[in-house]
Structure 1
């Protein structure tokens, strides 16, 4: 896809927010005028209009907050800071104030500065986004994986199952499992990376994770570094995989199982934070080391799965980190052994990728009882067999004629036997006479039959059995 046709989610969303913020501010100004108009003559109507004004303000505050995150993604940090100030000011703004003009001008000026995905003036922004895309593939930095591992304790005496729903070439998951008595499972969409992953992971499913079949609650650990910065699909639909992978994969994690979720800090949006807080406990957020964080803005979110329950306070805390990355502690500060992987043994009974995988098929056939039974027929064919009943004379003839009993016969009186079939021609003549006894015709009937002959060589001499 050429650069002029690249359509990034962040730019598209900022364009939508540009319209929402402008329209929301104009609507607030209109509603404020109507409240003023009816507050003396029709108080109930003025009260209803005031409630609408409050809702509109809430929508505007939400849009300003969302714009900040996408501005962080596009590295428009000054504009993001401006949005944060406007959001804070709008939250405390007195809706019955008469000085709406300065607020209106400030909000409209901010909206006017937001990037427009339909114009070519955003070449610098697109360039920054393109530098980070890498076809959606972000191998996790090995140094930061080691820092994460420092904070994890694996059980002794139990083989733990680890799952990476977008494993790439498998190196990150292999590093997590190395020396920790783990069985590794990965799923990868790209066939070339999946082929490489098969050489270092125990099992790899090829194809889309969303169309794979995997056992629920069978994994002790979930390592999730989903694709970032998803572009729009050909049909125009928007897809951010950070959220979808989290929703679809958490069911595979056992209760108490450890989540390692790696995303850019600006993807700590309200919906993702709510999913995390409702399904995990002991949640912590850690910033990658400075050099790596500067490139991809990554954070590691660690937590233990729990039964779903609402936790809005934790969600708000997580969401705050999306706006203030400087408040996030660096991974070097993660305490040693802070998280323990469950010690309960688990069985992964179902693990099938979307697409046909020869190596996975080979593994399944080796474990299949049906395949073993099929192969055991060869052993039966090569084993010594005895008839259940004595052979009939016809069966003896067939065996002898086919040559299956030719050769040395080992018994009390050893002998060599060879069977052969010869054709025998028999001619019968039958004369027919008339009533006076005179010969009319001679009928000749020729019959050809097979005769079985066994030639036997014994210590006492040669014998021929017919």
Structure 2
């Protein structure tokens, strides 16, 4: 899991929240084409939910919007803007793979403090890089990503990763130069094959030259040019849930669902829902022991004369019996699995034997 340096985390959580400006969002919307159909979009760092809500309002066709936000107050506001919002760290939730048509990502910027990065990942220890790697799998193949990052984040290792993972890459300057941001937009594709080598090299060169300052990304379009068509998503449920809930979330879930006790009868007393037919003949001791071991006869049992009361519980356990035999000069060991019924009873008859435990095996 990626971790923030405390100073970076404090800046991000308190004063470092900088939502994407509306002019940049308008420019991004000019690049997207949303034909009729069912769509899902996600913002894993959604803040108050403004960016995704703004983009959704630019299109004629509805789009189901998901958001993830770490700050409690901002998440509460986002829940009024988006369809589904989790108040959690993006790295502590599960979103179904290949379930989103559109990924809008304006992640926090800064160095990652972690010991999980090897030498081969040198240059990838940035928050914006780790968020991109974490979230790209949420996109459906041919789904569109709009990544808002400072142009200085486009270091060679990150550029190589983007060129391998995204096709049809374009880079534009954000409308504001507050953080020297650029918008990297493209389509999720596997670009590792030999047939994509030239395109991959061109994309990587484009990203590297912009990251180094050699080239300056052009401004976002002021009129729709619809370069990217969002893929339709099947209208089926997808996973969008927390994997490391906190006390507040646990309390909310238990308050809402009351645990499993509202289903106690169906889960723990299934035998009572069926009428047990009478046997064709009197049960033999073998039948009786088998019924007890199977749990069909359990609980409070009273003798025919009403003088003795037992609390009975039957069960079955598997044991392995070993036999050895000799055949000329060979010792043969045979292991056989056997199921052994075990019946336990507590004597609850008032008197001297009260509390005695009887085990029949």
Does 2:50 match 1:171? yes
The aligned counterpart of 1:138 is 18
The 3 A distance-change label for structure 1 pair 304 and 315 is same
The aligned counterpart of 1:324 is 213
The 3 A distance-change label for structure 1 pair 228 and 133 is farther
Q: 1:147 aligns with which of 27, 31, 36?
A: 27
The 3 A distance-change label for structure 1 pair 348 and 165 is farther
CA distance in 1, matches of 2:190, 2:209: 24
> CA-to-partner distance for each residue in 1:306-351, whole Å, 9 max, x for gaps?
1251623321221111122653110136752111101242534211
**Retained in 1: the 8 A contact 2:144–2:186?**
yes
Q: 2:168 aligns with which of 250, 258, 282?
A: 282
The aligned counterpart of 1:264 is 150
CA distance in 2, matches of 1:343, 1:306: 16
TM-score for the superposition, normalised by structure 2: 0.59
> CA-to-partner distance for each residue in 1:78-113, whole Å, 9 max, x for gaps?
xxxxxxxxxxxxxxxxxxxxxxxxxxxxxxxxxxxx
The 3 A distance-change label for structure 1 pair 325 and 204 is farther
Q: Which has the higher contact order (CA 8 A, sep 6+)?
A: 2
CA distance in 2, matches of 1:303, 1:189: 26
Q: Any stretches of 5+ residues in structure 2 without a counterpart? A: 115-123, 194-199, 267-274, 276-361
Report the CA distance between 1:210 and its aligned residue. 0.9
The aligned counterpart of 2:94 is 213
Question: Who wins on radius of gyration, i.e. which is larger?
Answer: 1
Secondary structure class of the residue paired with 2:186: strand
CA distance in 1, matches of 2:174, 2:110: 18
Give runs of aligned pairs for residues 356-367 of structure 1, distance below 5 A.
356=246, 357=249, 361=253
CA distance in 2, matches of 1:214, 1:169: 20
**Retained in 1: the 8 A contact 2:30–2:222?**
no
CA distance in 2, matches of 1:371, 1:161: 35
The 3 A distance-change label for structure 1 pair 252 and 231 is closer
CA distance in 2, matches of 1:6, 1:364: 35
Secondary structure class of the residue paired with 1:195: helix
Q: 2:103 aligns with which of 222, 231, 243?
A: 222
The 3 A distance-change label for structure 1 pair 202 and 6 is closer
Report the CA distance between 1:155 and its aligned residue. 2.2
Structure in which a larger fraction of residues adopt strand: 2
Report the CA distance between 1:372 and its aligned residue. 9.1
**Structure 1 consecutive aligned stretches of length 4 or more whose deviation exceeds 4 Å:** 5-8, 132-135, 230-233, 358-365, 370-374
Q: 1:253 aligns with which of 127, 136, 139?
A: 139
The aligned counterpart of 1:338 is 227
Report the CA distance between 1:272 and its aligned residue. 1.4
Report the CA distance between 1:208 and its aligned residue. 1.2
Structure in which a larger fraction of residues adopt helix: 1
The 3 A distance-change label for structure 1 pair 346 and 319 is farther
CA distance in 2, matches of 1:172, 1:350: 22
> CA-to-partner distance for each residue in 1:183-225, whole Å, 9 max, x for gaps?
1111111111111111111111121111211110000000010
CA distance in 2, matches of 1:133, 1:139: 13
**Retained in 1: the 8 A contact 2:70–2:89?**
yes
**Retained in 1: the 8 A contact 2:24–2:220?**
yes
The aligned counterpart of 2:245 is 355
Q: 1:307 aligns with which of 187, 190, 194?
A: 190
The 3 A distance-change label for structure 1 pair 6 and 349 is closer
**Retained in 2: the 8 A contact 1:189–1:206?**
yes
The 3 A distance-change label for structure 1 pair 140 and 231 is same
Number of equivalent positions: 242
The 3 A distance-change label for structure 1 pair 247 and 348 is farther
Q: Any stretches of 5+ residues in structure 1 without a counterpart? A: 9-129, 377-387, 389-466
Q: 1:190 aligns with which of 50, 71, 94?
A: 71
**Retained in 2: the 8 A contact 1:7–1:231?**
no
